Amino acid sequence: MLVWDNLNVHKTADPRKWAASREWPAIYYLPPYAPDLNPVEGIWSLLRRGWLSNVAFSTPEHLVQRIRRGLRHNQYRSDLMDGCLTETGLIIAP
């Protein structure tokens, strides 16, 4: 199963052709605006509150550096990552 948001590049011909050429992917699109169903939104929220708030970025590279540092820090916090998934109501089943 492949779950995509409604980003316009997900609906272009290339991804559709790629999916059609394989047997396994059943593609499900999230509703047009569904941050509550997208665990990535929780991760961005954590970054905005913890790593990107109250910072005056001097260059685009400075912004990228802070995002990367925040992502690296958060990836080892399984409780935070689990919380982002839990908030969606989705579960990972074996």
Check whether residue 77 and residue 50 sit in a common domain: yes
Q: Is the pTM of this model over 0.85?
A: no
Higher per-residue pLDDT: 6 or 54:
54
Query: Which residues share a beta bridge with 4?
Result: 29
**Residue in this structure with the two tokens 């399984």, named with its chain if needed:** 78
pLDDT tens, position by position, 68-87: 999 999 888 888 888 888 88
Check whether residue 16 and residue 57 sit in a common domain: no
Average pLDDT on 47-64 reads 92
DSSP 53: T
Give the structural domain span for 50.
34-94
Check whether residue 49 and residue 81 sit in a common domain: yes
Check whether residue 20 and residue 44 sit in a common domain: no
Collapse the DSSP code of 25 into the 3-class scheme (helix H, G, I; strand E, B; otherwise coil) and give the result: coil
Check whether residue 56 and residue 14 sit in a common domain: no
Q: Is the pLDDT of residue 91 over 90?
A: no
